[in-house]
Every structure is written in C-alpha cells, then in structure tokens.
Amino acid sequence: MTIRLGIVTDPIESIDYNKDSPRAMLWAAQDRGWQLFYMKQADLYSLNGQVMGRCGPTCIRE
C-alpha cells in the first residue's frame, strides 16, 4: 500500500524552494515513494462535521 501525503501550503507557484519547509518534506516523502497531493487553504471545507479538501497530485523536481 502506498502512503498518500497531502500538504496545505501557499500557492505552489509562489513557494521559494530555497526557504520554505514544504520543499524538504515533499522531497523526503517523494524519495520514499509516497504519493503527493497539494492543497491551498481555499481548497479546505467541512462536510457533515468532517474536514475535507480538494487536491491534486503533484511531484517535486530539482
């Protein structure tokens, strides 16, 4: 079974990969073969008392 990791962060196009910690977390997870998903704060919502989020797959490259 593959582990799936979702991260809530600033818009991915504005991330400064030299300073922001999501970069290190995503690289480490990707190196382990985990599936990566990305969400912005606006993608989060509540449905019947459960927190949900709209997300899409992503990958990190050097």
pLDDT tens digits for 34-47?
999 989 899 999 99
Residue 39 DSSP symbol: E
Q: What is the pLDDT of residue 59?
A: 81
Instruction: Kindly tell me if the per-residue pLDDT of 26 is higher than 90.
Output: no
Residue with the bigger pLDDT between 34 and 2: it is 34
Question: Residue 17 — pLDDT band, cuts 50, 70, 90?
Answer: low
Does the pLDDT of residue 25 top 90, yes or no?
A: no
- Residue 24 confidence class, pLDDT cut points 50, 70, 90: confident
Instruction: Please name the residues in contact with 58: beta carbons below 8 A apart, sequence gap of 6 or more.
Output: 12, 26, 36, 37, 38
